[in-house]
Amino acid sequence: MKYKIVYMGTPHYAKEILDTLIQADDMEVSLVLTQPDRPVGRKKVLTAPPVKELALQHGIPVLQPHRLSDEGIEDAIKELKPDFIVVAAFGQILPKSILDIAPCINLHASLLPQYRGASPVQQSLLNGDKKTGVTSMLMEEGLDTGPMLEKIEFVIPADMRLHALMAQLTLDACTLTLSTIRNYENITPQMQNEAEATLCKKIKKSDGEIDFEDAGLIYNKYRAFEGWPGIFTTNGTKLDGVNLIDTTSDNRVLEILSFDEESVVVGCRKGALKIATLQPASKKAMSAKAYCVGRGLKVGDTLL
């Protein structure tokens, strides 16, 4: 028997899950819904979501509604009589009319009810969590509030950053998708405990600004905001190649404590960080040591 799937998703995470469904002998993806093409980069080139590109490569019909309530969308799904609607990082709430067509399974990259919402992986790193995971759940009209089906947990290495963690959770989500669909009849859905629920918001560029008060918090921001928005100081200097030296020492804010080859060790009010690269606003990135030498800064001086 083949499971008939209607799939909804948009970014790379969702693309990998779709690929897993396409490759599975017992799955048949008959329709894909994804977000409209968007302008990307400085040149604002109209770009298709990764999920659309993959679906078209495999000859699967694609719909890109601005809203799922748009005319014809509900009928197009109903017509296919899917066994399941599978959703991963789609970017829209599903209306009741679509939720009623077939069981809607969502793959959410957190251990629900923790971190419902838009940025669960970043939030886990920001909070310095020891573990995270992926939850498959039945969707309802709320945001990530539905009954949970299965989970895969992952212990986060202390130095793991966003891209590596996202890659791991994507792999786990692919495994979980097949497991949940194949075992669906035998799974007892579990209600989420509302008392334990937390919500995470969409990340803004300004979230990357740091103040050198707490080295541990800054290091977690560095891990969580890999790629975008990165971490930067009030004057727009970007930091990269950041390592946590300690979280407890008392220092003067931004005091240069030592040099380590091309890196500089800098004090925070609490703890210290080693920084490999600095990039002043609208200038090229340079080694932290070169930055200091160019400005005549030595141990005991203030970095910025």
Compute CA 126 distance to the chain's CA centroid, rounded to the nearest angstrom.
Answer: 12
* Cut 0.85: pTM above it: yes
Number of other CB atoms surrounding residue 32 within 10 Å? 26
Domains of the chain: 3-200 (3.40.50.170), 205-294 (3.10.25.10)
- Look up tokens 């990269």; give the residue: 240
Number of other CB atoms surrounding residue 3 within 10 Å? 18
* Block mean pLDDT (10 aa), the chain, length 304: 96 97 98 96 94 98 96 97 97 94 98 96 98 98 94 98 98 98 98 97 96 97 97 97 98 97 98 98 96 96 94
- Judge whether 48 and 63 are in contact, CB under 8 Å: no
Residue 178: the pLDDT is: 98
- Judge whether 303 and 266 are in contact, CB under 8 Å: yes
Residue 192: the pLDDT is: 98
- Look up tokens 């925070």; give the residue: 268
Residue 156: the pLDDT is: 98
Residue 1: the pLDDT is: 85
**Integer CA distances (angstroms), 166 to 14, 91, 275, 281, 300, in order:** 11, 17, 24, 29, 39
- Look up tokens 């075992």; give the residue: 183
Q: Which of 91, 102, 97, 87 is nearest to 137 (CA)?
A: 87
Cα–Cα–Cα angle for 211, 269, 232, rounded to 5 degrees: 20
